[in-house]
Amino acid sequence: MSAKIISINISEKKGMRKKAVESAVIRDNYGIESDAHASEKWHRQISLLALESIKKMQDIGLKVGPGDFAENITTEGIVLMTLPIGTKMIIGEGIEVEVSQIGKLCHSRCAIYEQAGDCVMPREGIFVKVLKGGMIKKGDEIKVIK
């Protein structure tokens, strides 16, 4: 199975669940337009989480889905947390990103953690910075190019 985008998710403000959109514009060294986390000032421009990770939380009874972990891009078919920092990927028609962080430290327990006693995003989510932007859409292929 090839890796692909299952969902593209954005939010106007930080700290809230993201809403799914069919497509989005990714800007060079910025992130996804209209998303609260996009910025030229840091390395966590876009967050990714695998559908396989979300399914782990569903398997313990949580009613969660793409965007509920505040990830920008929900993927399928790629084990994100095994990609080393510096790994490059091509998304869709030539968008190039580079892995800049694996996981994150949660400063406060999110609603998912409070509900389940666990959350996959801090361990299994990754962050990328944008080397070359463009338009992404649901279903686009993701290729690891190292």
DSSP 103: S
The residue-averaged pLDDT of 15-34 equals 92
The residue-averaged pLDDT of 139-144 equals 97
Q: Quote the pLDDT of residue 103.
A: 77
Domains contained in the chain, CATH given? 3-144 (2.40.33.20)
Contact 57, 67 (CB under 8 A): no
The residue with greater pLDDT, 55 or 120, is 55
Assigned token pair, 108: 């406060």
Q: Quote the pLDDT of residue 119.
A: 60
Strands 19-21 and 73-76: unpaired
Q: Quote the pLDDT of residue 1.
A: 58
Specify the long-range contacts of residues 78-84, CB closer than 8 Å, at least 24 apart: 78/3, 78/50, 78/142, 78/144, 79/50, 79/52, 80/48, 80/49, 80/50, 80/53, 80/124, 80/125, 80/126, 81/123, 81/124, 81/125, 81/126, 83/126, 83/144
Q: Quote the pLDDT of residue 109.
A: 55
Contact 6, 51 (CB under 8 A): yes
Residues 76-106 have pLDDT tens digits of 999 998 999 999 999 999 999 999 998 765 5
